Amino acid sequence: MNISELVGYKEKLLQLRGELTNQVDEILQETQQEVRTQTSDGTGDSGDIAMTDQVSHLGLSAASRHSERLSAVDEALDRMEQGTYGICIDCEDPISEKRLLADPVVSRCINCQEQSERTFEEKDATPSL
């Protein structure tokens, strides 16, 4: 990967990082505001409390998903700093440009990603004793 391509990916990652950070902040602020609104007068019944809990749970769940993606972006930026960006973390072969263009955060080539998902599915499908 040449310097120009690397700079392009870095710009995409930094833009994605900013968008995700803003989205997490907005979700958390909206969730806090909704909880404050629902509990402000103290007259809520058990249904109101349940609704507030649900809104809070949904907001925190969405923020968590965005935070996980944000961590993946940071890991990609770290790989860039280490000079390993675009190299599969499993087999150390180059990740295709097409794959990186589709998602600049990916850390595995398509073959290793498929293998990782199959392994996860097999592990997840195995009943615990």
Question: How confident is the model at residue 22, as a pLDDT?
Answer: 93
Residues 2 and 65 in one domain: yes
Residues 13 and 76 in one domain: yes
DSSP 106: -
Phi, psi of 65 (to 5 degrees): -60, -45
Question: How confident is the model at residue 30, as a pLDDT?
Answer: 83
pLDDT tens, 55-76? 667 777 888 888 899 999 999 9
Residues 92 and 115 in one domain: yes
The single-letter code of the amino acid at 2 is N
Task: Pick out the chain residues at pLDDT < 50.
Answer: none
pTM: 0.72
Length of the chain (residues)? 129
pLDDT tens, 72-85? 999 999 999 999 99
Residues 17 and 68 in one domain: yes
Question: How confident is the model at residue 126, as a pLDDT?
Answer: 57
CA 47 to each of CA 51, 56, 71: distance values in angstroms, whole numbers, following the listed order: 6, 14, 36
Query: Range of 42's domain?
Result: 1-85
36-53 per-residue burial string, b: 16 or more CB within 10 A, e: under 16: eebeeeeeeeeeeeeebe
Residues 48 and 94 in one domain: no
Question: How confident is the model at residue 45, as a pLDDT?
Answer: 60
Given the structure tokens 């990609």, which residue do they identify? 76
Question: How confident is the model at residue 21, as a pLDDT?
Answer: 93
